């Protein structure tokens, strides 16, 4: 499922793709209710129709929503049927150099 600019998902208007992986596609979008830019992750059909993968997606959204740290995104909403969720989007700041060595 590749969403085009201008496509709407509930209150979200797709602006551009950010990336994709095994659990879904991520898009830059505009929350039309709050007039802010967010990232929205959308499950592909093969994941949305698999109960185990869908449960994993829901667990990921709940886990991220429980975190509160300046370098971790804040979940703003989970979609109907848990096939999408949105979170804050941040631009401008980067991780300090050498952070991968610190995590190893």
Its domain, for residue 36, covers 8-103
* Other beta carbons less than 10 A from residue 83's beta carbon: 20
Over 66-77, what HEC string results?
Answer: CCCCCCCCCEEE
> Is the residue at 3 inside a domain?
no
CATH code of the domain containing 16: 3.30.200.20
pLDDT score of 88 more than 90? no
Report how far residue 82's alpha carbon sits from residue 90's, in angstroms, rounded to the nearest whole number.
23
- How much is the pLDDT for 69? 73
Domains contained in the chain, number: 1
- How much is the pLDDT for 103? 44
pLDDT score of 101 more than 50? no
- How much is the pLDDT for 84? 56
The tens digit of pLDDT for each residue in 19-75 reads 888 778 889 989 898 898 888 888 888 877 888 888 887 787 788 778 777 766 666
> Is the residue at 1 inside a domain?
no
């Amino acid at each position: 499922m590749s969403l085009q600019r201008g496509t709407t998902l509930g209150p979200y208007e797709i602006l551009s793709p950010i990336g994709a992986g095994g659990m879904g596609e991520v898009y830059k979008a505009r929350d039309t209710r709050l007039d802010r830019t967010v990232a929205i992750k959308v499950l592909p059909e093969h994941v949305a129709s698999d109960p185990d993968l869908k449960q994993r997606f829901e667990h990921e959204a709940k886990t991220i929503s429980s975190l509160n740290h300046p370098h971790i995104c804040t979940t703003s909403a989970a979609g109907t049927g848990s096939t999408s969720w949105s979170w804050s989007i941040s631009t401008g700041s980067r991780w300090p150099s050498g952070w991968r060595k610190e995590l190893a």
